[in-house]
Amino acid sequence: MIMNEEYRDKHKIISLIKAINKKATRRWKIMEVCGGQTNTILKSGIEELLLDSVEFIHGPGCPVCITPEQKIDEVISLSTIPENIILTFGDMMRVPGSFKTLNEAKSEGGDIRVVYSPIDSIKIAKENPDKKVIFFGIGFETTMPLYATLLLCAEKLSLRNLFILHSLYSVTGILNSLFIDEMINPDAVLAAGHVCAVTGYDDYFQISSSYNKPFVIAGFEVFDILCAVYSTIEMLESGECDVKNEYTRTVGKKQNSVVKSVFETVYEPANQKLRGFGELSNGGYRLKERFEAYDAGSCLRSELNKFRDTKKNDNYCMDSIIMCGKAIPTQCQYFANSCTPMTPKGVSMVTSEGICAAYYKNCLNNTIKKYEI
Amino acid sequence: MCLAVPGKILSINDNSELKMAKVDFGGVQKYVCVEWIDIEIGEYVLVHAGMAISKIDHDEALRSLSVWEELLQKTDKIDVDDYE
Amino acid sequence: MKYNTMKAVYPSPTTVSENKVQLAHGGGGKLMQQLIKDIIYPAFENPILNQAHDGAVFNMTESKIAMTTDSFVVNPLFFNGGNIGNLAINGTVNDLCCCGATPRYLTASFIIEEGFSFEKLRHIVNAMKKSASESGVDIITGDTKVVQRGLCDGIYINTCGVGTIKESVSISSDRIKTDDVLIISGKIGEHGISILSARNELGFDVDISSDTAPLNKMIGELVEKIDVHFMRDPTRGGVASTLNEIAEQSGRQILLYEELLPIPEAVNNACEMLGIDPLCVANEGCILIFVSKEDEKKALDILHKYEAGKNACRIGEVRNVTSVANVIMHTYMDNYRVIDHFSGEQLPRIC
């Protein structure tokens, strides 16, 4: 991949790991928020190489995993109406709602389509003027410019058949709620570079100082994460508490002014329900009144609860506790026994960025090594 | 959290409803929306779900890499000194 | 010959333009005769087909026979490197190869959607002819059905194949032994990515062609000269799923080396962009081969003589079964990860 090779060089990675281990005088608890970073950490095996210096706490940064069951139920309800076309991302398809998944709803006749980009829904709405095209829009701030673009474009083109059923999350909102909980108490946080690429990192200074935790903006390649870990440990060892940026090639301190004004035009902060967390105050965003005509949550309200099933999913796995960093997957009795990516019990085993799935794929190293390979 | 990949701008099309650009991802080409960022041909962007969410500063990338390399050379040297 | 006794599923005549397949083309009448005479016969012509009977009658001298069948429903029908016609022949030929057989005869059945253009049909049939003659097999019987518009996606093809196996050849998963070497005969992921790219939904271009190719000459020489323990082509589900199935059947663990995997850069980059795993992407022109360590070099020398095998290489080895996982991979960072069955469809992710 362009511009990624330099960040995957094994020798550089090994010497940076050595440097980190040299710097750390104790084992520090560092939370990475983003599922993409969790995957990089587990896939590369750096967790094991940093065993004496860092205990990684895997945070709730998978938007697919934290999307509440009720939202999926609503989408399924919309899909039972023949004139509706539902569009969404591929990883939403296997996530269970209270009753079933979108894949199951699709096989029962719902017109549910996977697209690469929300932008594609403009074309689909134009091609199907007699249908309602509804994008199931979930995500953190990273994905929100896409929905904003969609809404502004739909407004410009006077598209009356395009809607968004949204479930939008705020990283800072979730972090605030995490740190109030004493069970989750990392020494420092690696902030997700892709969110910061959209939002800047001005907002982190306040969280950092009020909870007294160093924040470092990290990229997604192994080397990026190690640089951020080094920088974090440097601060922790010297007792410094600040916000630093180790993803400088992509992230600036301030939000891009154009994106900022787009955000302000389209969104406002709101309380948000999250799977595993419940409702968080200012945990997400909603659309401003100007875009109400595109908000499936309000203008298709009557269609959201058409579908009810008798049998509820009854998977009492630990995934909600795991998702907010209070437990690791191996502590769950089902993990890698009856719960695998092929037979997932909880949502974080379903999506490949989910913590359980990432653990399943990448974290059996110690067990494997026991067998002397 | 959010899958995003770096790519290089090959061409820009201002004429459609949205500002689009053809972006190369190492042999894979795709049109992506570049509505909100100021970008020129040959520059790098970070693309998430079909939209460029940020420009990648190539010079800054090289600069920060060289800073790290310098640091690593120093610590590697210390390692060698330790052995001697 | 079934071509004479075909019936349409919905045999009502329609008024479609003349360069398109009509329901009546499956109706058993004059139009159907014309379709077969104009398009099918000229392409597939051979003495057994020319018997024009309800079925094909032929002799086989060997007593050990391999038989396989496969249905092809690819979307889109035409893609970089081939079309559904090439796949329908190569897929069945390669399945026979994996049994250690010399492919001999194939059948071809078409289910065609009303309104399908003759031009496309001709392209597909010609591609079948080309692949069949490349691999030296004859298509000796077949069938054509036409269904109402909307009941099928353009065209579906089923092929069935028979091949003969030499007595000395024994390809079976229970012959896989600990310390066997795993060889792949070609690059990984090219077919799947070329299909995804041709399927306009995801809107990306990539300079990759499907690897679809008949491999019977290459594999024929291999099984003639070397004691191949087992072979499978990693089609749907990719290398990951195929190896998991093999590991389960053989009761052994397979260890892959990430550094040895021949994944083209563009395949890797397309996968990274879409968030999918190259090991789960379909292949149509390569085979996973298990041989003993001693035969590794000899096997690679044979494979390298052929165009389809020029990138052949060792990618892993067989180990005693452990309770951890059936297939694991040694990564470039010197650790191990589990390679699981591919779960569900390969879909682009946002996270």
What structural domains does chain C harbor? Answer: 2-164 (3.30.1330.10), 173-338 (3.90.650.10)
What is the C-alpha to C-alpha distance for residues A56 and A75, in angstroms, rounded to an integer?
35
Determine the residue type at A68: P
A139 to B7: CB separation less than 8 angstroms, yes or no: no
Same domain, A332 and A301: no
Q: What pLDDT is attached to residue A311?
A: 55
Domain carrying residue B56? 5-83
Q: Measured between CB atoms, does C301 come within 8 Å of chain B?
A: no
Q: What pLDDT is attached to residue A315?
A: 60
> Number of helices and strands (H, E) in chain A?
18, 11
When CB atoms are compared, the residue of A157, A171, A262 closest to B36 is A262
In chain A, the residue whose alpha carbon lies closest to the alpha carbon of B46 is A250
Residue C85 has pLDDT above 70, yes or no: yes
B residues 39..58 contacting A (CB < 8 A): 44, 46, 48-51, 53-58
C-beta atoms surrounding C16 within 10 Å: 16
Same domain, A302 and A339: no
C266 to B2: CB separation less than 8 angstroms, yes or no: no
B2 to A220: CB separation less than 8 angstroms, yes or no: no
* Angle subtended at Cα A276 by Cα A273 and Cα A282, rounded to the nearest 5 degrees: 35
Which chain A residues contact residue C348 at CB under 8 A?
89-90, 114, 116
Classify residue A282: in a domain, yes or no: yes
Distances (CA, A) of C35 to C25, C72, C244: 7, 21, 44
Determine the residue type at A127: E
Q: Tell which residue, A364, A354, A288, A283, has the closest CA to residue A322.
A: A354
In sequence order, what E strands does chain A have? Answer: 28-34, 54-61, 84-88, 112-114, 132-139, 162-169, 188-192, 215-218, 243-245, 267-274, 278-287
Q: Tell which residue, A295, A243, A311, A369, has the closest CA to residue A97.
A: A311
Burial of A26 (0-12, 13-18, 19+ CB in 10 A): exposed
B–C CB contacts, 8 A cutoff, strictly below = 41
Same domain, A205 and A338: no
Same domain, A259 and A329: no
What is the DSSP annotation of C241-294?
A: HHHHHHHHHHT-EEEEEGGG----HHHHHHHHHHT--GGGS--SS--EEEE-GG
B residues 41..70 contacting C (CB < 8 A): 47-49
C349 to A90: CB separation less than 8 angstroms, yes or no: yes
Same domain, A229 and A364: no
Which chain B residues contact residue C275 at CB under 8 A?
3
Reduce the DSSP state of residue B11 to 3 states and report it: strand
Per-residue exposure over C291-302, b if at least 16 CB sit within 10 Å of its own CB, e if not: bbeebbeebbeb
pTM for the predicted model, two decimal places = 0.87
Same domain, A220 and A329: no
Residue C239 has pLDDT above 70, yes or no: yes
Mean pLDDT for B11-17 is 88
Å between B69 CA and nearest CA of chain C: 19
Instruction: Give me the torsion for CA of A268, A274, A279, A284, rounded to 10°.
Output: -10
Domain carrying residue A122? 25-317
Reading phi first (left if > 0) and then psi (alpha if -120 to 50, else beta), residue A362 is in alpha
Interface of C with A (CB under 8 A): 201-203, 255, 268-269, 272, 274-275, 319, 322, 324-325, 328, 330-338, 340-341, 343-345, 347-351
B residues 15..34 contacting C (CB < 8 A): 25-31
C206 to B26: CB separation less than 8 angstroms, yes or no: no
Q: Tell which residue, A42, A39, A47, A40, has the closest CA to residue A17.
A: A47
Token pair belonging to A157: 């083109």
Determine the residue type at C254: I
In chain A, the residue whose alpha carbon lies closest to the alpha carbon of C340 is A361
When CB atoms are compared, the residue of B3, B30, B31 closest to C349 is B3
Confidence of residue B10 (pLDDT cuts 50, 70, 90): very high
Looking at A317, A332, A360, the residue that finishes a domain is A317
Mean pLDDT for A158-175 is 95
Same domain, A246 and A349: no
Residue with the two structure tokens 């021949």: C262
Token pair belonging to C7: 């019936």
For residue B21, how far is the Cα from the chain centroid? 15
Q: What pLDDT is attached to residue C13?
A: 39
Confidence of residue A193 (pLDDT cuts 50, 70, 90): very high
- Picking from C258, C323, C335, C345 by the largest number of A CB atoms within 10 A of its own CB, the best residue to mutate is C335
When CB atoms are compared, the residue of C206, C275, C349 closest to B27 is C206
Q: Tell which residue, C165, C40, C162, has the closest CA to residue C106.
A: C162
Cis peptide leading into residue A341 (ω within 30°): no
Distances (CA, A) of C188 to A171, C263, C337: 38, 5, 19
Residue A38 has pLDDT above 70, yes or no: yes
Looking at A289, A317, A345, the residue that finishes a domain is A317
- For chain A, what is the mean pLDDT? 89
C-beta atoms surrounding A312 within 10 Å: 9
Q: Which tens digits make up the pLDDT trace of A194-204?
A: 999 999 999 99
Token pair belonging to A48: 């094991």
Residue C17 DSSP label: -
Residue scoring higher pLDDT (B43 or C202): B43
Which chain C residues contact residue A198 at CB under 8 A?
none
Q: How many domains does chain A have?
A: 2
In chain B, the residue whose alpha carbon lies closest to the alpha carbon of A146 is B51
Which chain B residues contact residue A220 at CB under 8 A?
4
Determine the residue type at C15: T
In chain B, the residue whose alpha carbon lies closest to the alpha carbon of A33 is B1
Q: Tell which residue, A325, A357, A321, A356, has the closest CA to residue A29.
A: A325
Q: How many domains does chain B have?
A: 1
Reduce the DSSP state of residue A189 to 3 states and report it: strand
CATH code for the domain in which residue B30 is found: 2.30.30.140
Confidence of residue C148 (pLDDT cuts 50, 70, 90): very high
Q: Measured between CB atoms, does C201 come within 8 Å of chain B?
A: no
What is the C-alpha to C-alpha distance for residues A157 and A134, in angstroms, rounded to an integer?
16
Which chain C residues contact residue B31 at CB under 8 A?
203
Percent above pLDDT 70 for chain C: 93
Q: Measured between CB atoms, does A48 come within 8 Å of chain C?
A: yes
Confidence of residue A317 (pLDDT cuts 50, 70, 90): confident
Confidence of residue A314 (pLDDT cuts 50, 70, 90): low
CATH code for the domain in which residue A98 is found: 3.40.50.11740
Å between C193 CA and nearest CA of chain A: 15
Classify residue A82: in a domain, yes or no: yes
Same domain, A308 and A323: no
- For residue A129, which phi and psi values (nearest 5 degrees)? -60, -25
What is the C-alpha to C-alpha distance for residues C187 and A86, in angstroms, rounded to an integer?
37
Which chain B residues contact residue C270 at CB under 8 A?
25, 27-28
Q: What pLDDT is attached to residue A364?
A: 58
Residue A147 has pLDDT above 80, yes or no: yes
Å between A194 CA and nearest CA of chain B: 7
Sign of CA dihedral A261, A265, A270, A275: negative
Quote the ipTM score: 0.90
Å between A310 CA and nearest CA of chain B: 33
Which of C244-258, C303-317, C323-337 is predicted with the least confidence, judged by mean pLDDT?
A: C323-337
What is the C-alpha to C-alpha distance for residues A157 and A162, in angstroms, rounded to an integer?
11
Which of A136-150, A324-338, B5-19, C270-284 is predicted with the least confidence, judged by mean pLDDT?
A: A324-338
Å between B80 CA and nearest CA of chain C: 23
A143 to B7: CB separation less than 8 angstroms, yes or no: no
Same domain, A143 and A220: yes
Which chain A residues contact residue B3 at CB under 8 A?
36, 353
Classify residue A4: in a domain, yes or no: no
- For chain C, what is the mean pLDDT? 89
Mean pLDDT for C67-75 is 95
Classify residue A164: in a domain, yes or no: yes
Classify residue A7: in a domain, yes or no: no
- Picking from B28, B51, B53 by the largest number of C CB atoms within 10 A of its own CB, the best residue to mutate is B28
Q: Measured between CB atoms, does C266 come within 8 Å of chain B?
A: yes
Same domain, A292 and A324: no
Which chain B residues contact residue A89 at CB under 8 A?
49
When CB atoms are compared, the residue of C338, C343, C348 closest to A364 is C338
CB B52 within 8 A of CB B21: yes
Residue A72 has pLDDT above 70, yes or no: yes
